[in-house]
Amino acid sequence: MAATSPIAKARRSTELSLVVMAGLITGGAYVLAALGENATIPAQIGPFLGLLLGLLIVAHLGVRGFATGADATLLPLAAILHGVGYVMITRLDDELAGLQTTWSIVAIAAFIGTLVFVERAPTLARYRWIFLFAGAGLLLLPLVPGVGTSFGGARIWVSLGPINFQPGEFAKLALAIFFAGYLAENRELIADGRKIGPLRLPELRHLLPIAVSWGFAVLVMVGQKDLGSSLLFFALFVVMMWVATERAAYLLIGLVLFASAAYVAWRLFGHVQTRVTIWLDPWSDPLDRGYQIVQALYGLADGGLSGTGLGLGSPDQVPEAQNDFIFTAIGEELGLLGGAAVLIAYLLMIGAGLRVAIRTENTFEKLLAVGLTTIIGVQAFIIVGGVIKVVPLTGITLPFVSYGGSSLVSNYILLALLIRLSDSSARRLHERSDDPTPAERWAAWRLRRRGGAEGHAT
């Protein structure tokens, strides 16, 4: 969308106001946490606010320069979730807070880099097979001897010198792009299929590539004992098939397959049995296997409606509170109101993502927007549901909130892709679909300048 568009200007002005507000809220929460814990204002509050607002402004300028017509709420929502998570991580461990600061800078750089290099979202569909093989390679990387490492019983980490990361966080984005590209090209063939009884099932040759890639992802995740990611890939596949074919039968089939797979996993894997047992009755072993979830529930109960106050709770009583159980820390110190605010932020982000999908007429963009939004929504549901004992614990991160460089960087790349999709749909709605990208405007300016220089020389 052209920079002179009034709608684009209004959206960017709104976004700037919201990201500044998110930064000020985060800064205020940081001060309150320090006062509650040490009764002193942190000495580094000035540099902290400067770095925080600087990162947010840089991210905003990236959107203003490379995705002018994008939705104005996506970046501010991510900023407030990121800010709340950072304050709680700082509250729990200063050393981890320093590492999270470094990863925040990397994440913002990856966010802007994605906007710069992905100028038109449909071009991603051309490389769908590359994304498939890249995603498969990333999933297999932790199984490579000498490279992959285990933590908490799951072999999902890769160590390359001083850098440790989870390749599965990036594999989900690659496979979402592949699913969207393949389904956009073959959706009619898959939807028509062959009628068998009351169901219409697709021809095997049309379904085989996407079914094999999904099955491969799930089996690898099961082999790595990363059942949370297995559930995420399963939900991603089922939702995108349902949206692509517009057939609710895929939801029913997916539910049956999920129930069957969950039963088989429960029978075969001891750690799954342990998690189900803890889910059903954590108080049967409150000092060992059920300790983490019991302490989490006590923390949420202590928080009550309005919380104990930032810096006044005891979230460090929950093991790994900065990762899987960071929502417990939020619920304890900010109460039901603070926890509900976090959930509302996720709901607004999901709504914005689905709004992008509804507004675009391009099939690939629609499916990719649905897939990326599904990743955020399902991930948030799984981790929050595990903390409050709605579903068994699965060990994945809360998007933008939990500690972890891999998760933070991959989620900002996901956010950049959603913003790019939003900008693409805005181009079609309000102006020309062939409105030039910043890179194309730059190339045209250089060409005009070269032509003018040659004319002046003659």
Digit-by-digit pLDDT tens for the chain (458 residues) are 444 478 888 889 999 999 999 999 998 998 888 888 776 777 677 787 888 889 999 999 999 999 988 999 999 999 999 999 999 998 888 788 888 899 999 999 999 999 999 988 889 999 999 998 998 888 888 877 777 776 666 667 777 766 777 888 898 999 899 989 988 888 776 666 666 666 666 666 666 666 776 677 667 666 666 677 777 888 888 888 888 888 777 777 777 777 777 777 777 777 777 878 888 888 888 888 888 889 999 999 999 998 999 988 888 888 888 888 899 999 999 999 999 999 999 999 999 999 999 988 889 999 999 999 999 999 999 899 988 988 887 777 899 999 888 899 999 999 999 999 999 888 776 654 445 566 665 566 566 666 665 555 55
CA–CA distance, 214 with 208 (Å, rounded to integer): 10
In 289-325, which residue ranges form alpha helices assigned H by DSSP? 291-303
If we measure between CA atoms, which residue out of 189, 238, 228 comes closest to residue 395?
228
If we measure between CA atoms, which residue out of 152, 157, 154, 167 comes closest to residue 224?
154
Q: How high is the pLDDT of residue 155? A: 66
Instruction: Say what the alpha-carbon torsion angle 78, 310, 390, 407 is, to the nearest 10 degrees.
Output: 40
Contact, 306 vs 86, CB < 8 A? no
CA–CA distance, 296 with 25 (Å, rounded to integer): 25
Contact, 206 vs 182, CB < 8 A? no
Beta bridge partners of 201: 194
Helix (H) or strand (E) holding 196, with range, is: strand 194-196
CA–CA distance, 232 with 395 (Å, rounded to integer): 12
148-151 and 163-165 beta bridge pairing: unpaired
| Residues in the chain, overall count | 458
Distance of CA 284 to the CA centre of its chain: 34
Considering the entire predicted model, what is its pTM? Answer: 0.88
Beta bridge partners of 199: 196
Say which residues have a Cβ less than 8 Å from residue 458's Cβ, sequence separation at least 6: none
CA dihedral for 365, 368, 372, 373, sign (positive or negative): positive
